[in-house]
Structure 1
């Protein structure tokens, strides 16, 4: 393959600091500083590094109400949810417990044949999924 995963996913949030704390607390993510983005001074960007080659680029845009929109699965637009790869079965178990502790998931583990997954909602209401291959045991 010519690709090695996802470099970043960008989305708009109402509160990058709250979102950063969630991803740091649950996934041990590194939250970078918030800096001005764009030309009009009404936009900021915060980078949340969630893996060695993957980050979330979180934008807060004054007056933008898009982060308030969350609709049922498959009604959210072209990108419906984010799937994150757990580093190991131990990491998957740790993340599962942290999601339960944050009340971000009921902890249900889904069996999709070759992989298992847990769905969660972050503080912005974005649905995410954490996956681990069964064969990586």
Structure 2
């Protein structure tokens, strides 16, 4: 393959500080500084590093209502949810406990053949999924 994973996923949030705390607390993510972005000076971007090669690029755009639009699965637009790869079975178990403690998941683990999966909702209402290969 010519690719080595995902570099970043960009989305709009209304509260990047809350979102950064969630990803930091649950996934040990590193939250970078918030910087101005865009031409009018009102938009900001914050990078949240979630893996060695992967970031969440979170934009706050005043008066943009897209962050409020969360509908049932397959009704959320072109990108429905984000799947995050756990580093190991132990990491998956730790993440599961943190998500349940944060009230972001009921902890149900799904068996999808070669992987185990668990769904969660972040503070913005975005649905996420954590996966780990069964052979790990």
Give the TM-score of the pair, scaled to structure 1. Answer: 0.99
1:22-101 correspondence runs (5 A): 22-101=22-101
Structure 1 residue ranges (4+ consecutive) displaced by more than 6 angstroms after TM superposition: none
> How far does residue 111 in structure 1 lie from its aligned partner after superposition?
0.3
| CA displacement 1:10-42 (0-9 Å, x = unmatched) | 000000000000000000000000010011011
1:8 paired to 2:8: yes
**Equivalent-residue separation in structure 2 for 1:96 and 1:135 (angstroms):** 18
- Unmatched tracts of structure 2, length 5 or more: none
**Equivalent-residue separation in structure 1 for 2:21 and 2:96 (angstroms):** 17
Structure 1 counterpart SS, 2:135? helix
1:86-125 correspondence runs (5 A): 86-125=86-125
Tell me how many residue pairs correspond in the alignment: 136
| CA displacement 1:25-73 (0-9 Å, x = unmatched) | 0000000000100110110000000000000000000110100010000
Give the TM-score of the pair, scaled to structure 2. Answer: 0.99
- Unmatched tracts of structure 1, length 5 or more: none
> How far does residue 135 in structure 1 lie from its aligned partner after superposition?
1.4
**Equivalent-residue separation in structure 1 for 2:125 and 2:33 (angstroms):** 22
| CA displacement 1:67-99 (0-9 Å, x = unmatched) | 001000000011000000000000000000000
